[in-house]
Amino acid sequence: RGCLETFTAARYVLPLLQPSHGPGLTMERVVQLAREGDPGCRRVIGDVGRHIGSGVANLCNLLNPSRVVLGGSLAEAGELVLGPIRDSVSRYAIPSAARQLSVLPGALGGRAEV
């Protein structure tokens, strides 16, 4: 199916919204529109969160982390992205591996990226 980046990176996600929102769209703008209630942007942010959550679930199954911190502009979406991440972790991770997991936004928000 491909690597996580193909489902979550801005260069792959933004073209999904450009037909309805025009060229020059940024993730920061998508997050802003999602927070304002734009249904397309909310859907894309939720889908990205579910894909990230699937990856986090795999990490839980392998490494059993106690905390996952989401940074970058996507972290600014707050619960619009964190909720779907948590839902996917609950669905796909081994329950004992995910029981103590905290999924949090990074303190630096959009100023921190990998």
33-42 per-position pLDDT tens digit? 999 999 999 9
Residue 2 resides in a domain: no
pTM of the complete model beyond 0.75: yes
Helix orientation angle between 10-21 and 27-35, rounded to the nearest 10 degrees? 60
Residue 51 resides in a domain: yes
Question: Nearest 5°: phi and psi at 67?
Answer: -150, 140
Residue 65 resides in a domain: yes
Domain count, the chain: 1
d(CA 12, CA 20): 15
Q: Which domain holds residue 53?
A: 11-111
Mean pLDDT estimate for the chain: 92
Task: Identify the band that residue 112 occupies on the pLDDT scale cut at 50, 70 and 90.
Answer: low
Q: How far is CA 109 from CA 18, 78, 104, in A?
A: 24, 10, 11
Residue 60: which CATH number? Answer: 3.30.420.40
C-alpha dihedral (37, 40, 43, 48), degrees to nearest 10 = -110
Residue 1 resides in a domain: no
Residue 82 resides in a domain: yes
Residue 17 resides in a domain: yes
Q: Give the pLDDT mean for 13-40.
A: 94
